[in-house]
A and B are shown apart, each in its own frame.
Chain A
């Protein structure tokens, strides 16, 4: 299994809603990432987990809350989002067996905040 699976594929939520994005990989990768991507822009790093611990937070607003319950699963909890948070949210994983390894990306969750 060489896939990173993200659910849901599409999500529409109101500004007062609470929702979660889910990312799963069964490749034994120990680094996992969340990226945000706006249309015609590059992916923008949000969080990095290494060995289930948050290692990088790129000054992301607290309305985005990551969670890594185990080595295969990464969640992104969303609360009180703004319309400008509408974007494609990408999850990725990395074997982290050395520094020269590639990242594997999921297909993303397209989020619309109304």
Chain B
């Protein structure tokens, strides 16, 4: 069963704009991870934020985590057409290597 939900389900923006995606999860976690998937192929890991962290940056990516609200957000700044993909959050559960994915956001960046 899915761990959580993401919103929006789809997002269309102009190149250069920022894109924000939100993720909610249901149970306690070790960490929250974000992945990108192009055209229904393999997933690529983007960033991991631990349960005791509140914010993390990697290049144009900024991730926040609010464990009290069981939610996370991914911000992509200065988007590029090449950022067009599906983005998924994934919750890593306590005491196991279980990794459960949220419903995903399909991002379209228009040139």
Q: Interface size on A (CB < 8 Å)?
A: 32
Interface string of A57-100 (1 = CB under 8 A from B): 01000000000000000000000000000001010101010011
- Residues in A whose Cβ lies below 8 Å from that of B30: 99-100
Complex Cα gap A4–B92 (Å): 20
Is A13 on the interface with B (CB-CB < 8 A)? no
Q: Does A1 reach chain B (CB closer than 8 Å)?
A: no
Contacts of A39 in B (CB 8 A): 40
* Docked complex Cα distance between A40 and B30 (Å): 27
B96: A residues at CB distance < 8 A: 48, 55-56
Q: Contact at B42–A90, with CB atoms within 8 Å?
A: yes
Which residue of chain A lies nearest to B92 when distances are taken between CB atoms in the complex?
A: A99
Q: Are B50 and A100 in contact (CB under 8 A)?
A: yes
Take A100-B30, A100-B31, A102-B48 as given contacts and tell me if A108 and B42 are in contact as well, using a CB distance cutoff of 8 Å: yes
B43: interface (CB < 8 Å) = yes
Q: How far is the CB of B98 from chain A (nearest CB, A)?
A: 6
| Most B-side CB within 10 Å, residue of A100, A105, A106, A110 | A100
Does A43 lie at the interface of the complex (its beta carbon under 8 Å from any beta carbon of B)? Answer: yes
Report A51 CB to chain B, min CB distance, Å: 10
Q: Please, which residues of chain B bring their CB within 8 A of the CB of A110?
A: 40
Contact, CB under 8 Å: B92 / A43 = no
For A50, list chain B residues within 8 Å (CB).
Answer: 97
CB-contact partner of A56 in B48, B50, B90, B98, under 8 A: B98
Closest chain A residue to B103 by CB distance?
A: A42
Chain B: CB-nearest residue to A3: B42
Does the CB pair A107–B97 fall under 8 Å? Answer: no
Pick the 5 closest A-B CB pairs, nearest first: A42-B101, A102-B45, A99-B30, A107-B42, A31-B97
